[in-house]
Amino acid sequence: MNHDSLLMIFAKNPEIGKVKTRLAKTIGEEKALMIYLKLLEHTHAVADRVFADKAIFYSSKVQEFDILDYYKFPKFLQKGDDLGERMERAFGQAFAQHYEKVIIIGSDCYELTADIIEDAFAALDESNVVLGPARDGGYYLLGADRHYPHLFKNKKWSTSDVLLDTILDLKKLKLSYRLLPTLSDVDEEKDLGELRKLLV
């Protein structure tokens, strides 16, 4: 532990047929895997420029050596039955290590920058929670100043209601929050943007 802040990256293991399945329906599994590897590389390059400790949480197994080893982030396995439980346990683990600010990001947002993550950490000086809204109704980033397990319960993950339901929970719990710029996750071919050039 070198800093008081931790940036956690949730990622799927990059295996053909198991990543970007909605995207694969229109561009094929091989190209979908190529896009996902580019997203992973981008996410890690962005994280590398952030002034905080980092940790990556893989979905199915911790690979001793992988494409991202040059970033040298500690690796862990996600634990839990659904995304909410997996994130909640990761936050619990982080705050048990006495971090004062913890942020989680996925590996699907090509528009994410180090400045946005730095702004998110700064927002936690004034707010209990920070959220990065995604255009599909979810979020690409969630940060907190302590462990709030309720934020991860009773959600329909991967639906357009996740962000709104999380904000409603924040209001019920009387927690202050800040919203970051709205960005796009890459889930379908229409979301590719600049990444489309990789398909040529």
Domain range for 42 is: 5-193
**Residue 123: is its pLDDT beyond 70?**
yes
**Is residue 200, in this structure, part of any structural domain at all?**
no
Q: Give the pLDDT confidence score for residue 1 in this predicted structure.
A: 60
Measuring CA to CA, which residue among 73, 170, 50, 44 is closest to residue 121? Answer: 50
Domain presence at residue 48: yes
Q: Is position 10 within any domain? A: yes
Mean pLDDT of the chain: 93
pLDDT at residue 2, as a whole number: 65
Which of 66, 52, 73, 53 has the alpha carbon at shortest distance from 14? 66
Q: Is there a domain that residue 145 lies in?
A: yes
Provide the number of structural domains found in the chain.
Answer: 1
**Domain-embedded: residue 107:** yes
Q: What is the pLDDT of residues 14-66, one digit of tens each?
A: 899 999 999 999 999 999 999 999 999 999 999 999 999 999 999 999 877 77
Q: Report the amino acid identity of residue 38.
A: K
Residue 173 in domain: yes
- What is the domain-level CATH number for residue 13? 3.90.550.10
Average the pLDDT over 1-22 and give the result.
91
pLDDT grade for 148, boundaries at 50, 70 and 90: very high
Using DSSP, state whether 183 is helix, strand or coil. Answer: strand
Residue 138: CA atoms inside 13 Å, Cβ hemisphere, count?
A: 19
d(C-alpha 128, C-alpha 171), whole Å = 12
**Residue 193 in contact with residue 184, Cβ under 8 Å?**
yes
**pLDDT at residue 166 in the model:** 97
Which positions ≥6 away from 105 have C-beta within 8 Å?
A: 7, 8, 9, 10, 43, 47, 112, 117, 132, 140, 141
Residue 82's pLDDT is 93
